[in-house]
Structure 1
């Protein structure tokens, strides 16, 4: 069995916790909320070949619920033969309540066994996708047949983004828009989508620099606006520096920079963006950055245009082409899409980027994700 999409494995007293940044970054990840994001295994999956009819995975899962909303579904998805998806909900483990990026309450739980039955006889490829919005400790895999390491697609896609790429609300790990796109285009996904934490951190740029990649996509800026972490003076240079580092390791790899999707409250108002008493996100305009989403899109497009004069493999996509004014009703909290919104983002991203008429056309398996 292989673990795809993880760049580090933390060994605990009882199992293994996949992490999405390499071990050398641990001392540099100083933000408490970022520390909660790195071990949430968006895009991470167990890849194997087996003749077993039943697989059972012992796990301990830590789930997280925003204090203002009910818990979104947390599930393991088994993809059998590249097409059939069997989803199993998580019912046990710890449940943490989060407010303003801090865990304020924890209800302890127990380990559980996730069982996938009826896989069929004969050898087959199976991927078990881990929950994108929970921390997972893997304890034991059991099967009623032989298990061997599986194979991942040859072409590698590295994607960097925020909660809108992390997709906690998607309902399951194969329903996030990057997972849908990767499966449809036949790409091996490494997801560096960290909810609340896409701030052009240098350790992420160096991680991308050192990873094998056939295509790199960077969906940036909304978290910078949300937390008011950069200014007009520093945002452009920070993006240039991030791209410089990526290009140090990938001088010829296609790189697509995507600006933010629609967020009505932040289009013409700077951050910080906070939750009000109802749980909706509201841009306060109280920061000193002056970075509205309108201005950030302008700056991103300017950075890409200047660099593209000497770097034709660097491209730009306006995020509103993925999710724009006509989609605003699917922002359940004013900032994040619901499951239907993420599905549309995936369809549009595939068409505009990897589809036959896209910016970076990819011929692949074209598996229709559910």
Structure 2
């Protein structure tokens, strides 16, 4: 800002925020966006989902202003693992009238270090910081600031050199997507590069991203959160976490899918609902979980530890899950014309893997996210797709 006289400070409220289902007052003037509502959070059984849903993938501030300098004051929480390299600072993407214009990071903040051998957690408190954006285009404009998809972010205040007002409604449809770590944005380099953000931009829709690292597990509280959230389009991507967590057997899987979809339909009886199976993942196509990390001191990768021979006993593999999901959706679609199925290998299959292999054998890289988002937009939003604009 040029001088304090030109500085406008705007508290961050729900009126400026999109993509979050709740905004928690954590004290000291800080607000924490959550991607699950309080009732769901009270039923979360583990830290993995509790932390994942507090990472603001797809959450952004949206406002209109003439400001050419914008500062967002936050307190980030950075997650590290003892013995592993520290991750890079989370990236903030600033869009002007829908176009990525600037990026920033916030150093410092709180550091949460986990020892994966013992499960112990150490927390080091650090100071808030500021994401700074300058030399923005003059004149009235719509600005979005997408928060880091992989870094818990408590919001403090928005500082600008001109007043702001909440973004106006533009009539775009709301797409709610639920999925696993890939939907969350694992390995994506910045928040608008996650595949759901890429697909949302191509489909000209407003995104609510309920992709949670390791936690697309057919949890009833997640189904209820989807049920109770207004949306024009809904997709649920299921499979990889059910296999790599070894969370259930085939006998339990089909009824759990039916129950999840039944709950969603209670709140969205006629909303286009797309069930998406897992992307190609060679380590789990024919081999059950659980998955285990491999770390050679420099790079992290993953391996499946199950025994393929136990498939006959009901252990889940990706091939089994895809077959079951296709069967379930086909049976339900006879009475539900708005229910659709998409094989995840149409988003990332053999040819994609040959060109863009999974660097850690589980998650795509930046180019992979782009490919998946483009393929999803083509299958879902283009003419003839389940999310295409209807004139009837």
For normalisation by structure 2, the TM-score amounts to 0.88
Number of aligned residues: 363
Deviations 1:226-278 (A, max 9, x none): 11111100111100000001111111111000000011111001111111243
| Residue of structure 1 in register with 2:192 after alignment | 174
Q: Secondary structure at the match of 2:42?
A: helix
Residues 248-267 of structure 1 mapped to structure 2, 5 A cutoff: 248-267=266-285
Q: Which residue of 1 aligns with 2:388?
A: 361
User: Does structure 2 conserve the Cα–Cα contact (< 8 Å) formed by 1:330 and 1:340?
Assistant: no
Find the residue that maps to 2:192 and give its secondary structure: helix
Distance apart, 1:69 and its partner CA: 5.3
| Partner SS state of residue 125, structure 1 | strand
Q: Does 2:162 align with 1:142?
A: no
Q: CA deviation at 1:186?
A: 1.6
Structure 2: gaps spanning 5 or more residues: 1-14
The answer as to 2:234 corresponding to 1:216 is yes
Contact 1:73–1:171 at 8 Å: present in 2 too? no
What is the match of residue 2 of structure 1?
16
1:245-324 alignment, distance < 5 Å: 245-278=263-296, 279-285=300-306, 289-324=314-349
Q: Give the corresponding residue for 2:10.
A: none
| Equivalent of residue 358 in structure 2, options 313, 319, 331 | 331
CA displacement at 1:289 relative to structure 2: 4.5
Please tell me the root mean square deviation across aligned C-alpha atoms, in Å: 2.0
Structure 1 runs not aligned, ≥5 long: 364-370
CA contact (8 A) 1:4 1:152 kept: no
Tell me how far apart the structure 2 counterparts of residues 103 and 52 of structure 1 sit (CA, whole Å): 45
Question: Aligned partners of 2:379 and 2:273: how far apart in 1?
Answer: 14
Distance of 2:109 and 2:60 partners within structure 1: 19
Which stretch of structure 1 is more off in the superposition, 59-68 or 302-311? 59-68
2:58 is the alignment partner of 1:43: yes
Q: Distance in 2 between matches of 1:293 and 1:258?
A: 12
Mapped contact 1:47–1:152 kept (Cα < 8 A):
no
Bigger Cα Rg:
2
Q: Are 2:33 and 1:11 equivalent residues in the alignment?
A: no
Q: Deviations over 1:129-169 (max 9, x none)?
A: 11100100111111110111113553111100000100132
Give the conservation status (yes or no) of the 8 Å contact 1:42–1:130: yes
Q: Give the TM-score of the pair, scaled to structure 1.
A: 0.93
1:95-106 to structure 2, matched below 5 A, reads 95-98=111-114, 104=121, 106=123
Following superposition, the deviation at residue 108 of structure 1 comes to 4.5
Distance 1:99 1:289 in 2: 33
Given that 1:258 and 1:318 are in contact with CA atoms closer than 8 Å, whether structure 2 keeps it comes out as yes
TM-aligned CA distance change 1:87 to 1:360, over 3 Å: same
**Offset of 1:84 from its aligned partner?**
3.6
- What is the match of residue 243 of structure 1? 261
1:50-101 CA distances to partner (integer Å, 9 max, x unpaired)? 1111111111111224665552552111111112431112322233445659
Distance 1:152 1:92 in 2: 35
Corresponding residue for 2:4? none
Distance (Å, rounded) in 2 between the aligned partners of 1:226 and 1:153: 40
Matched position secondary structure for 2:368: helix
